[in-house]
Amino acid sequence: MITRTRLAAGAGALLAALAAGLAFPAGASAGEPTGQDAPKVDLVLDVSGSMRARDIDGRSRMAAAKQAFNEVLDATPEEVRLGIRTLGANYPGDDREEGCRDTAQLYPVGPLDRTEAKTAVATLTPTGWTPIGPALLKAADDLDGGNGSKRIVLISDGEDTCAPLDPCEVAREIAAKGIGLTIDTLGLVPDAKLSRQLSCIAEATGGTYASVEHQDELTDRVNELVDRAAEPVVTPVAVQGAAECARAPEVKSGLYTDREEFGQQRWYRVDVRPGQELRASVSVAADRAVHPDYGVLLRAVTVHGREIVRGEAAGNGRTDVISTGLRYPKPDRDAQDAPAETVCLAVTNSFSAASGVKTTPGLPLELTVDVVDGPSQASDVAAFGLGRGWWLLGALILTGFLAGLVRGWLSRWRVAVWRTN
């Protein structure tokens, strides 16, 4: 009994150690400095009179937005510098010129005091116009300076009321400045005109648009976008995938962007030498209204069409980005001076556009490729991802098996001796 207990404890300890090695691979260090300034986010909230409407889970749009903001403020990562700007919060009159200047910084972009920010949000009351264009221009100024990521998250329940200052043109103007600012938009009502305007704003800066009709959806979306701002800034390289592997562009380790039509397949090529490991991942974003239930498939294929490995993921409309990845360790039993193997990466999506939604340009696609030196024996990685710990686990299993045989033989010998006596 003691032997079994010790054996079980040893196996548990080994499996725990191996799991720790998988969860925290060598070279990875949490909280490691990135060399970038702190990421900045400006939440821009529509506080116009229409936000009084009670059509979000039986509550007013304003009440739902306030609750979502409170939950987002609680979950904001410490490293994010967050601010809040309003539009239509202060001027209740009919003077259009005055109403179109009604945008104010409710909480400055900087280190977050959660209590102070929540107190400021609590004071908001639906009031005036919907000056989206002027608010975006001011929000861009709020985020000025530094080389970290910059993101505006615009939440509105209606179209801009301050034309001819077209907010879509404003977004293009911001993008043309080359300051690396992304605008994401969220619509609080399923309105076709609002959807077109907010989609255009987001598309101009490489951002995303989503329509939300429930308070929990709003919280989830804003949280997701704030978290995304905290990710390290990497400058992507534009690439155009081909319709077949033979014509695909060659990619090396790095981050790439492309556009993929609905239901389309895009091909890329990467060289992998013996003893190296290919790690690839892809994200496809729904930057316009799409039907729920969609997926993305990433395959590594030989130039002769044989599939090596695949990664796939499915979505149901809860998030606007879907991602998957794969790993392929190239065996090092081949001669080290052997030529590199060309691996074809195929990206396929099963998104479908909602009625009346434009299908061009294609959906934003981000492809990450990393070719690294693999372990000396590729089988170490192939063996369930345990690395060299596979051999230790195998030895432990063998030892346990032999111990069981010996224990069984001793038991039988004792029974035989007892019977003879």
Please check the confidence at residue 336 and state whether its pLDDT lies above 80. Answer: no
Residue-level pLDDT at 305: 92
Highest mean pLDDT, choosing among 16-25, 80-89, 202-211, 395-404 = 80-89
Residue-level pLDDT at 121: 96
Residue-level pLDDT at 416: 64
Tokens in use for 190? 């399923």
Query: Is residue 375 within 8 Å of residue 333, measured between CB atoms?
Result: no
Residue-level pLDDT at 247: 94
Per-residue pLDDT band at 356 (split at 50, 70, 90): confident
Residue-level pLDDT at 172: 86
Per-residue pLDDT band at 32 (split at 50, 70, 90): very low
Model pTM above 0.85:
no
User: Higher pLDDT residue, 122 or 277?
Assistant: 122
When pLDDT is averaged across residues 3-14 and rounded to a whole number, the result is 37
The CATH class of the 40-229 domain is: alpha beta
The pLDDT tens digits of the residues spanning 76-109 come to 999 999 999 999 999 999 999 999 999 999 999 9
CB atoms inside a 10 Å sphere around CB 138:
18
When pLDDT is averaged across residues 18-32 and rounded to a whole number, the result is 34
CB atoms inside a 10 Å sphere around CB 148:
20
Q: Three-state SS string across the chain, please? A: CHHHHHHHHHHHHHHHHHHHHHHCCCCCCCCCCCCCCCCEEEEEEECCHHHHCCCECCECHHHHHHHHHHHHHHHCCCCCEEEEEEECCCCCCCCHHHHCCCEEEEEEEECCCHHHHHHHHHCCCCCCCCCHHHHHHHHHHHCCCCCCCEEEEEEECCCCCCCCCCHHHHHHHHHHCCCCEEEEEEECCCCHHHHHHHHHHHHHCCCCEEECCCHHHHHHHHHHHHHHHCCCCCCCEECCCECCHHHCCECCCEEEEEEECCCCEEEEEEEECCCEEEEEEEEEECCCCECCCEEEEEEEEECCCCEEEEEEEEECCCCCEEEEEEEEECCCCCCCCCCCEEEEEEEEECCCECCCCCCCCCEEEEEEEEEEECCCCHHHHHCCCCCCHHHHHHHHHHHHHHHHHHHHHHHHHHHHHHHHC
Per-residue pLDDT band at 55 (split at 50, 70, 90): very high
- For domain 235-379, the question of CATH label 3.40.50.300 is answered with no
The pLDDT tens digits of the residues spanning 158-203 come to 999 998 889 998 998 888 776 778 899 999 988 889 999 998 898 7
Residue-level pLDDT at 143: 94
Residue-level pLDDT at 6: 37
Averaged confidence pLDDT in the chain:
82
When pLDDT is averaged across residues 360-377 and rounded to a whole number, the result is 79
- % of the chain surpassing 90 pLDDT: 47
Strands 40-46 and 81-87, by their bridges, are: parallel
Residue-level pLDDT at 12: 38
Residue-level pLDDT at 414: 66
User: What are the boundaries of each domain within the chain?
Assistant: 40-229, 235-379
The pLDDT tens digits of the residues spanning 103-157 come to 999 999 999 999 999 999 999 999 999 999 999 999 999 999 888 889 999 999 9
Please check the confidence at residue 49 and state whether its pLDDT lies above 50. Answer: yes
Within 13 A of 407's CA, how many CA atoms are on the CB side? 10
